[in-house]
Structure 1
Amino acid sequence: MSPAAFTLARECAATAIPSGQVVTLPSGLGVHVVQTLGGHVTVRTDDGLFRIAEAEASALAGYVPAARSDAVASSADGFSEQAVWDALKTCFDPEIPVNIVDLGLIYDLATAPASDGRHEVEVKMTLTAPGCGMGPVIAEDARQKIAALPGVSSARVHIVWDPQWTPQMISAEGRKVLGLE
């Protein structure tokens, strides 16, 4: 399937891939949508790849986001560890069509009761390559999605490098999506 072509109806903020540098894409720029997972849009231009945040996707003239199926279930009191895992599964590297959980990037997830009766969540994650400028962007996406869950008072996502990530850490589901099995 070839990427869909669009034109930016207005200038918009975007993140250059893989540097992670925030740039402004000009109005009238032709782009090709290459990935739309996790609510964000990855586009290709003559100058490279860029991630357009969900809030900026309306800049793509004629673009209609696909219905999202990343609703997160929660327990009766509004919080569950499974809901955190489900939220993490809605986060994607903008170049890889597999969520960060199935890519094997999540090393640890810890929850603890907070003084306000809600929950504090800490996640340790890695990246597929050290020095990837998109790491802080992906980690912040994960943090925001966790923080938005019912019953969460704080969310922290730490990028760690030990152990070093390898392709063997990809789940069976991720391997299937990538055509590795």
Structure 2
Amino acid sequence: MGTRMVLTSAATVALMVGGAGAAAMTPESRPAVPAGAEAAREKDCRATANSLPSSDKHIYLYAVPKCEGSHGAKDDSDKDGDYDDGEGQIKHFDNLTVSLINHSDATVEFYTRTKYSHEGDRFCVRPGHYVTKLYMYGDGKEEAGNWSNSISSHRRVKPADCKRFFGWLVK
């Protein structure tokens, strides 16, 4: 069962959102936060990546921003040429990636087309990096205008072969 909160005055609203009276609240007088709610609200790609065992060397793909919830697909192989062909470790996840974690020990290049085609667009993510929102990137050209929901394949590459990098370092 959820907790229901009823606001009784404007002063209550000011206290709840950090208004002038909020600083005067003691830890004992603050409303209780359900167990796990604070951690769940603050969890993002960095927290998710940090929760993975160091021996885990997968890339993780999510259909939502900030790597929230469970991943939609993961892969620890060198490549997957088509996320929708039913082969390889990533199955039926074509054009669904919104955020991702590269927890592998290699630079990975992601493509907007299958079979690592340079006809579309591509970007790299360094080992130990994550991307919280692919829709923040893009240059406005055709499918490159927004990489969110556009990823169709990936492979491990040498960093020198990358034309652009995305992502934040997990620490």
TM-score normalised to structure 2 length: 0.25
